[in-house]
Amino acid sequence: MGFLLSKMLAVFGDQEHKVIIVGLDNAGKTTILYQFLTKEAVHTTPTIGSNVEEITVSKTHFLVWDIGGQESLRASWYSYYCNTEIVILVVDSTDRERLTLTKDELHQMLSHEDLQKASVLILANKQDMKGSMTPKEISKCLTLDNITSHSWHVQPCCALTGEGLPASLDWMKSRVVAN
């Protein structure tokens, strides 16, 4: 597809943008996806596959692939990378012990050639919980300042209430329009 045509389709909203949602097990991926789907401002079509949902945010269509986070499944994350425009990395902000593991997974992911053009949204989830790490602490531990090859953004949120999630959708939309 020509560059101009794809740009026009992006602006006028007929293009689907592939998003993958990753993170360790228990981070809150499923809860976040559920919140995306039930928000009044967000309309969705029925599930396309067992782990794919379409989310439409004011005429921008995101096809969101929810990829399992257990260790056995992380090895196959790469098979979902092709054509991905946005990676949503969900972090359990209370899980200090496994943040280094998340960091390693993130940097390994971003070195994959199929993700060279992807933008990264880090959702610092479970902000409602006592002792949760701040977005600043999470950014530092994930060494986000070292990532200059990809556009990234950290959004604090609470998947149980949905707080912070509309802002994350706005950022996703701004990225696909920018590209």
Catalytic residue numbers? 70
C-alpha 132/C-alpha 94 separation (Å) is 4
Residue at 149: amino acid letter: S
Which listed residue (129, 136, 149, 167) binds ligand G3D by CB under 6 A?
Answer: 129
Pick between residue 69 and residue 135 the one whose CB is nearest to ligand G3D.
69
Which listed residue (26, 44, 139, 174) binds ligand G3D by CB under 6 A?
Answer: 26
Pick between residue 129 and residue 167 the one whose CB is nearest to ligand G3D.
129
Site stretch for ligand G3D (CB under 6 A), options 26-34, 79-87, 115-123, 139-147: 26-34
- The answer to the question of residue 31 lying near ligand G3D (CB under 6 A) is yes
- The answer to the question of residue 144 lying near ligand G3D (CB under 6 A) is no
Pick between residue 94 and residue 179 the one whose CB is nearest to ligand G3D.
94
Residue count of the chain: 179
C-alpha 114/C-alpha 81 separation (Å) is 6
Q: Are the C-beta atoms of 51 and 45 separated by less than 8 Å?
A: no
Minimum separation from the CB atom of position 15 to ligand G3D (A): 27
Q: Which residues, other chains included, contact 177 with Cβ-Cβ below 8 Å and sequence gap of 6+? A: 10, 11, 60
- The answer to the question of residue 69 lying near ligand G3D (CB under 6 A) is yes
**Which residues on neighbouring strands pair with residue 88, listed in sequence order?**
21, 121
- The answer to the question of residue 51 lying near ligand G3D (CB under 6 A) is no
- CA separation, residue 1 to residues 28, 50, 133 (Å): 36, 29, 43
Alpha helices in 111-162 (DSSP H): 135-141
Minimum separation from the CB atom of position 133 to ligand G3D (A): 13
Give the binding site for ligand G3D (CB under 6 A): 23, 25-31, 69, 125-126, 128-129, 158-160
